[in-house]
Structure 1
Amino acid sequence: MDEADSLQQLDRNLVHVLARRPLGIQGADRLMARLPFLEAAGRHDDDREIMLLVAHLSGAVLDDALLPLPVRSTLASLQAPLLRVALREPRVLEDHSHPIWQMMIRLASHTAGFQDDDDPRLCALLLDVEVLFTRLQAATPAIAVHAQALTALDSLLVGELDAERREAAAPIAKLQAAARRVTMVEALRRQVRLELQDATSPWRIEGSTPARPAAAVVLDETLQHFLTGPWPEVLAHA
């Protein structure tokens, strides 16, 4: 049996072993817990070393407390695809530009900002991603297949970002308008105060005529409060 046939047989054996019970985030469902069965399917020590290394790497990802729990549960779906491709292409373990790693990195980066595990946007996104990752478990562990999956994942992430921007556009516009109104109100208040000060001063400057005493305009407190309080706000909203 040549190397290609040997790899195909190994992959079939792995799929058979992993099909008995889907991999997940819980301890008993992780690669590390399945190692005895997986190692029995290995061809030689090199295969078993790769299996152990992948189990450790995937376990570290699934234990990352910085990621929301639902995200880690979704990433658990990549344990089997990662193992299968690593056995075919051991260099994957050192090449983080490979699509299988990029899928993990991009999903983790995109979802790191979610604070609520039950966020509707996060849940909707992960449902679509879970479907994508589940397909990979049965797909041929080839770089072209994973590259297509990465493109599909990027499309999902961009779509989620666009939806977030559209959702945030109206509140942001309202905040910007409110900020402009606050600035305008303060400017109008300053202008009104200056005009009131001039109107109520016994000294006036009229054009080029020297200052001369004049009868001060007397405004009661209620009117002054209105002119310096509600009135600028009315003007700013006009």
Structure 2
Amino acid sequence: MNGRLANARLQFIDDELMRLPMVADQVFDVTWRAMTDNVPGLDHHERGIVAELLQSGPAHRGRLVERFVDAVRRHVRAEAAGQAPAQAAPAAAPALGLSLLDETEIAADVETSHAIEAIRSVAEHELRELSAYVSALAGDPDVSRDHNPFRAETYAQALWEAAQALPLGRAYQTRLMRHAAQPLAQVLRKAYAGACARLESQGIEPATYRTLILPGGKRSTRPSESWQGEGSPTLHMVRQKLPAPIEAAQDPATSQVPLERVIADVDQALRALPADAPPTVRAQLLESQRARMVRHARSSVDQQVIEMLSRLFEAMLSDPRIARDIRAVLARLQPSALRLVLRDDSALDDYTHPIWRFMDMTAHQAALHAEGSAEREAVLQLAEQLIDTMAREPVPEASLYRRGLDRLLAEDRARFEARLQRASADIEALQQKEDSLVGGAPPPTGAGPLDEGQLDTVPADLLDNLPGAGKQEADPPEWLRQRRVGDWLRIFIQGQWQRVQLLHIGRHGEAYLFGRGQADDTVALRRAALLRLRAEGLLKVLRIRSMLRSAAVQVLRNAEKT
């Protein structure tokens, strides 16, 4: 970002923060009015809670507004300084250590998630518009990420910090969150619209926001994965939907060059690109090489296969959910994949062929680590070494990619075993805590430690399903019973979504220990808390996404438009 744009963005942030006290005043004014209007329709128990809130809340209005404003300012200014506050836990959250969180202690997370969803639903259009304007201020015309620091998460976490200023019990504070969620969303909708209008009046041209993918919510499915056809789209369907193949090249000079040499040239050209090459440069290279490969194809069928794989890789490598460093490694797999499919089109039968699973596992393992971290670099370097070996094989077979997948899994298993060793003290302490809570109760069946061989394969059911597949979710107790040590999960806790790995299930099935991301710190939750989070949609398996399946949907949708 150049200096002028940086100053413009900082000026925009300062202007909005100056208006923040007025926004906070409006939030609580609307909340008190809404609670008063709703009293007649409440049951006796809820009426008593609301009465207590209406008595205590307005009396502490100044403190509520002060805490709200302070929290938003802290988060926004930290992000402006490059500290990514959206990923930081709320300041008021206790240090977890080995404290065993129960259902009551995660109630605030449930209400925070509801507030976030309310803001995203009510102010969805205004949020997208503001993101487009702020991206223009940040010098990001393609809106490659959300540069708007005034996110739904920031305001929802600030609301929880403000609620804790009430001199009432935790149950009353979380109930205030519930009643204030919709008023907060309504006020923010107007605030976002006002910010857009001010930026427009200053002559700011919004960046295109068609590529922006806001964080997932309950409103809709990602458009890039929507599929309205019958059944799940297959790769054979993709090939059939492509335009009729062109005639094979007749130029004698062209026909004298074997296709294998052209594919080798493609691989060499991809090697020469720097890892940080812009996506447009990589796309232009692949497009020019695609045309050359089509000219040297031996038959119209080969031409169609080349066209299909080129489009699929183009869709994958333009997916904004895949980071640039991961795309650079995956692009190197295209020549090897082409050799395989030209020789044996059974690789198109489904998405669980070893080459596609290798690709998905590479992206999955790399994405578990922070960009630029040594651990992520190690995963990508290993994948690149394996791809180099694959690229040198002139007659690739499934076993070649299966060996590569096994190597990735072996390294992942080694990392997990080392992590268990580092967490051994926490595991022992948690087991003692669970034993003291449960006493001599017998352990339940069905939950226990990971069997030694369970990490050796990537089951097909870990690949994400296409929307509309109709797979029925298990109820929370059954879902929790199916979890095993080593599972990666997404959990909403302490005001944010986190990736956690299940490290230990207590012998009584009452206590669960998780490792946060790839760090060594842990968090322990009781079974009741996990069931509540699961019932609220705040606890999910972190599935290994089939990138090729997502690309197939995109290519088919594009083909239907032409």
The verdict on a shared fold, with TM-score over 0.5 as the criterion, is yes
Deviation at 1:54, TM superposition (A): 0.7
Deviation at 1:42, TM superposition (A): 0.7
Per-residue CA deviation, residues 102-135 of structure 1 (Å, 9 max, x unaligned), is 1012222333333x20122111222222111122
Q: Distance in 2 between matches of 1:175 and 1:60?
A: 48
Give, as a single letter, the amino acid of the residue that structure 1 aligns with 2:268: A
Secondary structure of 2:332 counterpart: helix
Higher relative contact order, structure no. (Cα contacts within 8 Å, ≥ 6 residues apart): 2
Give, as a single letter, the amino acid of the residue that structure 2 aligns with 1:79: Q
What does residue 374 of structure 2 align with?
120
The structure where helix makes up a greater share of residues is 1
Q: Verify: 1:54 aligned to 2:318, yes or no.
A: no
Per-residue CA deviation, residues 62-109 of structure 1 (Å, 9 max, x unaligned), is 223333332222222211111111111223133222111010122223
What does residue 81 of structure 1 align with?
336
Give me the TM-score of the superposition, normalised by structure 1. 0.60
Asked whether the equivalents of residues 18 and 80 of structure 1 are also in contact (C-alpha less than 8 Å), the reply is yes
Residues 1:107 and 1:87: Cα distance change in structure 2 (over 3 Å): same
Give, as a single letter, the amino acid of the residue that structure 2 aligns with 1:162: E
1:1-238 correspondence to structure 2 within 5 Å = 9-22=258-271, 26-30=279-283, 31-114=286-369, 116-140=370-394, 141-169=396-424, 172=426, 176=430
Q: Distance in 1 between matches of 2:416 and 2:383?
A: 14
Number of aligned positions between the proteins: 172
Residues 1:69 and 1:176: Cα distance change in structure 2 (over 3 Å): farther
Asked whether the equivalents of residues 362 and 380 of structure 2 are also in contact (C-alpha less than 8 Å), the reply is no
Q: Distance in 2 between matches of 1:149 and 1:104?
A: 10
Asked whether the equivalents of residues 22 and 29 of structure 1 are also in contact (C-alpha less than 8 Å), the reply is no
What does residue 233 of structure 1 align with?
none
Per-residue CA deviation, residues 156-181 of structure 1 (Å, 9 max, x unaligned), is 222233334444555x459859x96x
Give, as a single letter, the amino acid of the residue that structure 2 aligns with 1:163: A
Q: Distance in 2 between matches of 1:67 and 1:132?
A: 20
Q: Which runs of 5+ in 2 are unaligned?
A: 1-257, 437-562
What does residue 193 of structure 1 align with?
none
Q: Distance in 2 between matches of 1:71 and 1:20?
A: 18
Deviation at 1:43, TM superposition (A): 1.0
Deviation at 1:44, TM superposition (A): 1.8
Q: Distance in 2 between matches of 1:92 and 1:130?
A: 21
Asked whether the equivalents of residues 71 and 111 of structure 1 are also in contact (C-alpha less than 8 Å), the reply is yes
Q: Distance in 2 between matches of 1:132 and 1:165?
A: 27
Q: Report the aligned-residue RMSD.
A: 3.1
Give, as a single letter, the amino acid of the residue that structure 2 aligns with 1:48: Q
Asked whether the equivalents of residues 10 and 41 of structure 1 are also in contact (C-alpha less than 8 Å), the reply is yes
Asked whether the equivalents of residues 23 and 79 of structure 1 are also in contact (C-alpha less than 8 Å), the reply is no
Asked whether the equivalents of residues 266 and 335 of structure 2 are also in contact (C-alpha less than 8 Å), the reply is no
Which segment drifts farther, 15-24 or 98-107? 15-24
Asked whether the equivalents of residues 32 and 52 of structure 1 are also in contact (C-alpha less than 8 Å), the reply is no
Per-residue CA deviation, residues 8-40 of structure 1 (Å, 9 max, x unaligned), is x53344224543553767433343341111112
Secondary structure of 2:315 counterpart: helix
- Answer with 1 or 2: which has the greater Rg: 1
Secondary structure of 1:38 counterpart: helix
Secondary structure of 2:319 counterpart: coil
Asked whether the equivalents of residues 326 and 380 of structure 2 are also in contact (C-alpha less than 8 Å), the reply is yes
Secondary structure of 2:313 counterpart: helix
Q: Distance in 2 between matches of 1:61 and 1:175?
A: 45
Asked whether the equivalents of residues 92 and 98 of structure 1 are also in contact (C-alpha less than 8 Å), the reply is yes
Q: Distance in 1 between matches of 2:326 and 2:270?
A: 20
Which segment drifts farther, 148-157 or 129-138? 148-157
Q: Distance in 2 between matches of 1:42 and 1:106?
A: 31
Asked whether the equivalents of residues 336 and 391 of structure 2 are also in contact (C-alpha less than 8 Å), the reply is yes
Asked whether the equivalents of residues 340 and 347 of structure 2 are also in contact (C-alpha less than 8 Å), the reply is yes
Q: Distance in 1 between matches of 2:429 and 2:313?
A: 43
Q: Distance in 1 between matches of 2:346 and 2:268?
A: 26
Residues 1:79 and 1:17: Cα distance change in structure 2 (over 3 Å): closer
Deviation at 1:50, TM superposition (A): 1.0
Give, as a single letter, the amino acid of the residue that structure 2 aligns with 1:96: Y
